[in-house]
Amino acid sequence: MKVAIYARYSSDNQRDASIADQLRICRLHAEKQGWQIVEEYTDHAISGASLLRPGIQALISDATRGRFGLVLAEAMDRLSRDQEDIAGLFKRMAYADVKIVTLSEGEVTHLHVGLKGTMNALFLKDLADKTRRGQRGRVELGKSGGGNAYGYDVVKKFDGNGEPVRGDRTVNEVQAEVIRRIFRDYAAGKSAKRIAFELNKDGIAAPGGGDWGFSTINGNPKRGNGILNNEMYVGKLIWNRQRFLKDPDTGKRQARMNPESEWITQDVPELRILDDDLWQSVKERQRAVKRNHSDDGETENHFRERRRPKYLFSGLTKCGCCGGGYSMISADLVGCSTARNKGTCDNRKNIRRDQLEARVLNALRHHLMDPALFKEFCDEFTREMNRLRMERRASIDAAEAEIKRIDRELDKLMKLIMASGSDDAPTRMMKQMKDLESRQKELKAFLQEAEEPPPLLHPNMAHHYHIQVDELYAALQEDSEAKRMVAADVLRSLVREIILTPENGELQIDVRGDLAGILAVSLKSKRPAGGAGRSQVEMVAGTGFEPVTFRL
């Protein structure tokens, strides 16, 4: 029996030794059972509330490929504490004909999944409730409920029993002076963007250690985040303003606002950094800016909140100087976001959006699939495929030869078993037969996967590409919004990124084409990421060729 071992611990408060202990006792159990350990999978300091863990994902992937027939763990809660996830894992393993065995529960069945899964889910809820209860108790004592804000340092100390005292904070005077500067500048009429500019110019590190941006200063007044909205700076600690829910599909936490009646407010005068007059001056200016939309930072926020339609190559344009994004800086112009918002890039060269789109579209139509260059690519691709085909053929020949040898061995063993009069000899021979049959099954599975036809490149593919792109370009001019959206999506799939670099007073544009998307369009695939041509496109794009790059 081939077995995989899985071990996990959930928090930084636990030790790596926990993983080693789990693996050790699982190895001993496997040795007693006579099982062969083929792989060990681990996840360090990762919660069991989600399956989005590298170790468990690798285990699932290898199980579906038939690498082992049994998964061994210390207990079910090591695999997952989420009821839905443990049920899904059990289904996947059952489909792959893989059993789950734990040292605590034995072989896991539907009964274990139902009862133990419910118990683990209740454990998680109870743990969350106790954690929030402890946080609320600290907040009511004027201590932090968790995390830390810019302007404060965590106080590390221990009580009489040697236990850490949590939640105490003290003012960081260096950062406090930066906070006062931000509030004074904003109250004096400077925009959040200009303040961020000046802080970066003076080499002052942002809260995360990087560069300041206007959003770090402006934040979100409703959620109470951002430098200008943190009421801790006037000695008021507010807790439970929002709660977090985990998206069941992505595993990411999403914030949800709580009713104001559920907020917990506590006075902490020892943590005050600002006086009331300065705080009120900033709040009054924020209200005026919201009414008039006159401040640069607030205008940018408002501009984003309107959710105007994205332009054709939105998100694909990059600055060649800093690597930051090129985005809309007005109704018609695109420019370097880093230069505009943070001041840490010197690229101030802008370009009209319609001019950028026209130049890139023209290149996609006339330059991206040059017939002469494509012929050279086809020749190189053919040489590479021939090399891969020869390597694969050698592996296939070796597998076929081994299958024939196993057939002969099985015939011999069968004849010996039938001729044997001993009770022990057939038992040993039967074990040998099972091993041979298992190996033969693996080889046949390999041959079944290896015998897929190789991808082919048609000599006229460049011609087909130009026809398809011309049709897509025409669709962009259609009255039908649905046709325009489909055409735009396919055209975007042809481009990996667009690099804009100022040279000699002009913007040079380098377009990096996505090879898989280009070939998919050439194959007349409606969706480059899927469809009948998908495996061919992925194999072509994965044979070591760099994306197509050309300069406009």
Looking at the predicted structure, is the pLDDT value of residue 298 above 50? no
Looking at the predicted structure, is the pLDDT value of residue 424 above 70? no
Looking at the predicted structure, is the pLDDT value of residue 457 above 60? no
Question: Quick one: pLDDT at residue 406?
Answer: 85
Q: Which CATH superfamily is domain 170-305 in?
A: Putative Large Serine Recombinase; Chain B, Domain 2 (3.90.1750.20)
Q: What is the mean pLDDT of residues 60-82?
A: 88
Q: Are 516 and 483 in contact (CB under 8 A)?
A: no
Q: What percent of the chain is predicted at pLDDT more than 90? A: 10
Torsion sign, CA atoms 298, 301, 306, 310: positive
Give SS3 for 77.
helix
Looking at the predicted structure, is the pLDDT value of residue 538 above 60? no
Provide the CB-side half-sphere exposure for 207 (13 A, CA): 18
Max alpha carbon distance in the chain (Å)?
103
Q: What are phi and psi of 365, to 5 degrees?
A: -75, -35
What is the 3-state secondary structure of 166-218?
A: CCCEEECHHHHHHHHHHHHHHHCCCCHHHHHHHHHHCCCCCCCCCCCCHHHHH
pLDDT tens readout for residues 109-160: 887 777 765 776 666 667 666 666 666 666 666 676 666 788 888 888 777 7
User: What is the C-alpha to C-alpha distance for residues 28 and 103, in angstroms, rounded to an integer?
Assistant: 11
- What's the topology of domain 2-126? Rossmann fold (3.40.50)
Torsion sign, CA atoms 423, 428, 434, 440: negative
Q: Are 349 and 326 in contact (CB under 8 A)?
A: no
Q: Are 227 and 216 in contact (CB under 8 A)?
A: yes
Which of 106-120, 210-224, 462-476, 518-532 shows the highest mean pLDDT?
210-224
pLDDT tens readout for residues 482-506: 677 777 777 777 777 888 899 888 8
Q: Quickly tell me which residue has 């809260």 as its tokens.
A: 207
Question: Quick one: pLDDT at residue 100?
Answer: 93
User: What is the C-alpha to C-alpha distance for residues 60 and 63, in angstroms, rounded to an integer?
Assistant: 5
Residues recorded for the chain? 552
User: For residue 502, with 0-12 CB atoms within 10 Å meaning exposed, 13-18 middle and 19 or more buried, which class applies?
Assistant: middle
User: What is the C-alpha to C-alpha distance for residues 545 and 74, in angstroms, rounded to an integer?
Assistant: 45
User: What is the C-alpha to C-alpha distance for residues 170 and 537, in angstroms, rounded to an integer?
Assistant: 58
Q: Quickly tell me which residue has 């025409």 as its tokens.
A: 474
Q: 128 CB contacts (<8 Å, ≥6 apart)?
A: none
Give SS3 for 300.
helix
Q: Of 131, 79, 89, 126, which is closest to residue 110 (Cα–Cα)?
A: 89
- Where along the chain do its domains lie? 2-126, 170-305, 308-389+455-552, 390-450
Residue 101: band (very low, low, confident or very high) from pLDDT cuts 50, 70, 90? very high
Question: Quick one: pLDDT at residue 527?
Answer: 41
The residue ranking higher by pLDDT, 331 or 74, is 74
pTM: 0.44
Helix ranges, 494-550 (H): 515-522, 534-541
User: What is the C-alpha to C-alpha distance for residues 36 and 505, in angstroms, rounded to an integer?
Assistant: 67
Question: Quick one: pLDDT at residue 211?
Answer: 87
Question: Quick one: pLDDT at residue 181?
Answer: 93
DSSP state of 220: B
Q: Are 155 and 169 in contact (CB under 8 A)?
A: yes
Rg of the chain, C-alpha, whole Å: 32
One-letter amino acid identity for 122?
L
Q: Of 214, 211, 251, which is closest to residue 49 (Cα–Cα)?
A: 251
The residue ranking higher by pLDDT, 515 or 507, is 507
Which of 96-105, 399-408, 427-436 shows the highest mean pLDDT?
96-105
Q: Are 5 and 37 in contact (CB under 8 A)?
A: yes
Question: Quick one: pLDDT at residue 294?
Answer: 44
Looking at the predicted structure, is the pLDDT value of residue 237 above 90? no
Q: Same topology for domains 2-126 and 170-305, yes or no? A: no
Q: 51 CB contacts (<8 Å, ≥6 apart)?
A: 57, 60, 80, 82, 85, 88, 89, 251
Q: Are 66 and 442 in contact (CB under 8 A)?
A: yes
Q: What percent of the chain is predicted at pLDDT more than 70? A: 68
Question: Quick one: pLDDT at residue 36?
Answer: 93
Q: Which of 202-211, 304-313, 338-347, 423-432 has the lowest mean pLDDT?
A: 304-313
Q: Of 89, 13, 72, 22, which is closest to residue 45 (Cα–Cα)?
A: 13
pLDDT tens readout for residues 147-196: 678 888 888 877 777 777 776 788 899 999 999 999 998 888 888 888 98
The residue ranking higher by pLDDT, 447 or 501, is 501
